[in-house]
């Protein structure tokens, strides 16, 4: 699907991978409605858009507010005239603790943002996407949505729900003009931990920050992979060699893969 002159809605557009997808889409000639709960972060995205900012609108929106989300498509259509692509990118992680130690308010918050917010956006915009000559719905899951990660079990459950919901949408919409893609990012060099209000005990675990950064995919590279996947109408988009490798490993040897990841994460749960 070509994106030039199309209108793209992107949640989590104020930072990290979402911001880079906004900038990439603008560079390719799209009109973009960037959504985030953080207004100052959106302003920075607009500043970084430079000469392309005339095709960008920014919208402060809490995607867990169902009524506000259901009113949002008309705001975008009034601004841009149509909606062709929706990218549900916004998400948060949980504190790095076992399920037994995770308070219910944290559990609810993770599901409200990662699953219900995405569901509200999907149900709000899908009727409009179905009216377009060609459209695309893109939902961002996670490597943790198909592979259990100790200390992120609730986060993983929310992303697994996104995975199955999106696969169901693909099956339901495969004879329509709406393409459906699911994105599986691996380790991305974003500030999702800080934006989620989570501390990661890297130093206590003896993790070298430079080595850790070298093992991640940069947000701009991640955005390039996602946008190229949209251009090719790919159903499954893996971001990073770690995501594609672990997908294959988990399908081939799930118990081995689970134990492998558990061993890598054990220091974070001490």
Q: Which two tokens stand for residue 131?
A: 């009216």
Give dist(CA 260, CA 265) in Å, integer.
9
Please state the domain extents for the chain.
7-269
Q: Which residue has the tokens 């501390």?
A: 199
Is-catalytic flag, 120?
Answer: no
Out of 120, 155, 170, 250, pick the active-site residue. Answer: 155
The Cα-based distances of 189 to 30, 33, 236 in angstroms read 25, 23, 21
Indicate the pTM of the whole model: 0.91
pLDDT of residue 125: 98
pLDDT of residue 266: 80
Give me the residues of the chain with pLDDT under 50, please.
203-210, 213
Domain 7-269: CATH superfamily, name plus number: NAD(P)-binding Rossmann-like Domain (3.40.50.720)
């Amino acid at each position: 699907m070509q994106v030039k002159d199309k209108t793209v809605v992107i949640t989590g557009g104020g930072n990290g991978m979402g911001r880079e997808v906004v900038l990439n889409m603008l560079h390719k000639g799209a009109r973009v409605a960037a959504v985030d709960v953080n207004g100052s972060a959106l302003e920075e995205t607009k500043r970084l858009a430079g000469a392309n900012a005339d095709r960008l609108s920014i919208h402060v929106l809490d995607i867990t507010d169902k009524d506000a989300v259901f009113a949002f498509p008309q705001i975008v259509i009034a601004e841009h005239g149509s909606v062709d692509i929706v990218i549900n990118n916004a998400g948060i992680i949980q504190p790095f603790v076992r399920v037994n130690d995770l308070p219910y308010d944290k559990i609810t918050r993770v599901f409200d943002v990662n699953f219900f917010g995405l569901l509200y956006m999907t149900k709000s915009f899908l009727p409009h996407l179905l009216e377009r000559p060609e459209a695309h719905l893109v939902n961002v899951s996670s490597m943790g949505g198909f592979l259990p990660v100790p200390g992120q079990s609730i986060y993983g459950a929310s992303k697994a729900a996104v995975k199955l919901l999106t696969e169901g949408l693909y099956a339901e919409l495969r004879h329509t003009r709406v393409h459906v893609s699911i994105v599986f990012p691996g380790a991305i060099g974003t500030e999702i931990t800080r934006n989620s209000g989570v501390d990661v005990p890297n130093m206590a675990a003896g993790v070298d920050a430079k080595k850790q950064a070298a093992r991640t995919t940069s947000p701009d590279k991640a955005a390039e992979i996602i946008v190229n996947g949209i251009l090719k109408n790919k159903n499954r988009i893996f971001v990073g060699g770690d995501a594609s490798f672990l997908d294959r490993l988990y399908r081939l040897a799930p118990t081995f893969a689970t134990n492998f990841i558990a061993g890598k994460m054990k220091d974070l749960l001490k």
